[in-house]
Amino acid sequence: MPRITKKKFQENRDQILKILDDRYGTTKDGFFHQEPWQLLVAIMLSAQSTDKQVDVALPALYARFQHVEEMAEAPVEEIEDYIRSIGLYKNKAKNVKKCCQQIVGEYGGQVPDKLEEVLKLAGVGRKTATLYLADAHGIPGVTVDTHVFRISKRLGWAKGKNPEQVELELQKVLPVDHWNRINFQLIYLGREICTSRKAKCEQCPLAEWCPKLI
CA 199/CA 63 separation, integer angstroms = 41
How many CB atoms are located within 10 Å of the residue 139 CB?
15
Active site residues: 127, 145
For residue 210, CA distances in Å to 3, 187, 213 come to 9, 17, 6
